[in-house]
Amino acid sequence: MAEHQQETRAAYDGVVELYASLFADRLETRPFTRAMLSTFAELVRGTGNLRTADVGCGPGHLTAMLDDLELDAFGLDLSPAMVDHARRAHPALRFDEARMEALPVEDGTLGGVLAHYSMIHTPPEELPALLAEQVRVLAPEGLLLVSFFATDTPDPVRFDHKVAPAYSWPVDRFAELLVGAGLDPFARLIHDPASERGFLDAHLLARLH
């Protein structure tokens, strides 16, 4: 495991209860994000393959939301403390510790992958390999919904996230990485965040060719 991954895991291990309490409303105050999640779930259901991974699931609140949206959802996270919390909070669902670069999932078996602000801590040079791993586990016509902080600068910007160092991305650059991984980014939603950082919230929905 890379040093930045060890640091990120330790940082999230240390804020589990606070982090979980901040997201206990399961996005009740974030209508745009809810809309993209609902669209993602509807399209995954349309593939006939309901098996969906919430990668970087944290306390499991979105895994539970995907389950409510009739997907066969399970959660994976780098942080063992987050996984423990998710298992306690949602005992009917499956949660496992895993790195996004090495998912414990068979090739071509998922109808969907959700990456909700879980790629933001990955250094830009490592992101293509991480995306390739998400593509590996998707079935043909499978869907990826990735959410991240967006910037209007030409290059990714490293910033001090409240938990661990993170990166914001120009949306077009991120979309190009999806294309390079073999995905078709066919929908995007970009909106102003309720954040002092000034970054935009971005959601890209892509389909495997």
Q: What is the pLDDT of residues 45-79, one digit of tens each?
A: 999 999 999 999 999 999 999 999 999 999 999 99
How do beta strands 200-208 and 183-191 pair?
antiparallel
Amino acid in the structure at residue 124: P
The answer, yes or no, to whether residue 189 has pLDDT greater than 70, is yes
Q: How far apart, in whole angstroms, are the C-alpha atoms of residue 153 and residue 200?
A: 12
Q: Which of 23, 29, 27 is nearest to 40 (CA)?
A: 27
> Mean of the pLDDT values across residues 117-128?
95
* Amino acid at the residue 177: L
Q: What is the pLDDT of residue 147?
A: 97
| Best-predicted range by mean pLDDT (4-13, 16-25, 69-78, 154-163) | 69-78
What is the length of the chain? 209
- Reported as a pLDDT band with limits 50, 70 and 90, residue 7 is confident
Q: What is the pTM of this model?
A: 0.94
Q: Which band of pLDDT confidence, cut at 50, 70 and 90, is reported for residue 195?
A: low
For the cut 80, the answer to whether the pLDDT of residue 23 exceeds it is no
Percentage of the chain with pLDDT > 70?
95
Q: Mean pLDDT across the chain, nearest whole number? A: 92
Show the beta-strand stretches assigned E in the chain.
51-55, 72-77, 94-97, 110-116, 138-150, 157-159, 166-168, 183-191, 200-208
User: Model confidence at 206, in pLDDT bands (50, 70, 90)?
Assistant: very high
What would the pLDDT profile of 141-170 be if each residue is shown by its tens digit? Answer: 999 999 999 998 999 999 888 777 899 999
Mean pLDDT on 91-105: 97
Compare 12 and 189 and report the one with higher pLDDT. Answer: 189
Whether 103 and 73 have beta carbons less than 8 Å apart is answered as no
Given pLDDT bands bounded at 50, 70 and 90, which one contains residue 188?
very high
